[in-house]
Structure 1
Amino acid sequence: MSARRWALALARGSVPVGLGLLLWAAVGAGEERRQETLKALPEVQAELGTRRRQNELIMAALREAAETDENVARRPVPWRK
């Protein structure tokens, strides 16, 4: 009798877990397709280019700050050499 109760409890517990896994897989696949579709849009490509350029400028500023002994944060606003 006890083994039967355990089997029933295990079956009842595994149903929600199985449904959750199925939903997770379905939503995950749709999200990947959505990301690929968004990457192909021209507006997104332009924004990615802008972000890439901004990251390059930040990395250049960090590189310069690492190479110098002065406090580059205290420079005047235009931040030109």
Structure 2
Amino acid sequence: MALDPRWPLALLRGAVPVALGLLLWVAVGSGEQERLQTLKGHPGAEPGGSTYRQRHNELLMAALREAAETDENVAQRRVPWRK
């Protein structure tokens, strides 16, 4: 069985996009480490932000817990409802 002369060109055409994708992945991946290091330093920059997020998450969890415990549709309640 003879080798078709179009095979090397087909392999090259298939390998070029894969190689470009790998190069882009490496380029973006190297910047990702720096971005993660930068983000680690940010939570301390806003002192009230973490307490606000904690309170917000607590309220969300309380609402979800209440919705799970009741048969009433809590989404249809009027807006100023209390916990």
Sort the TM-score into its range (normalised by shorter chain).
0.5 to 0.7
Runs of 4+ in structure 1 deviating by more than 4 angstroms, as ranges, are 69-73
Aligned to 1:37: 38
Matches within 5 A, 1:47-66: 47-66=49-68
More helix by share: 1
TM-score (norm 1): 0.66
Aligned to 1:77: 80
How much identity, in percent, do the aligned residues show? 59
* Cα distance, 1:48–1:38 mapped onto 2, change above 3 Å: same
User: Gapped runs of 5+ residues in structure 1?
Assistant: none
Deviations 1:7-60 (A, max 9, x none): 122023212220221111220231232033122122367534422321111111
User: Gapped runs of 5+ residues in structure 2?
Assistant: none
Please state whether the residue corresponding to 2:5 is helix, strand or coil: helix
TM-score (norm 2): 0.65
C-alpha RMSD over aligned residues: 2.9
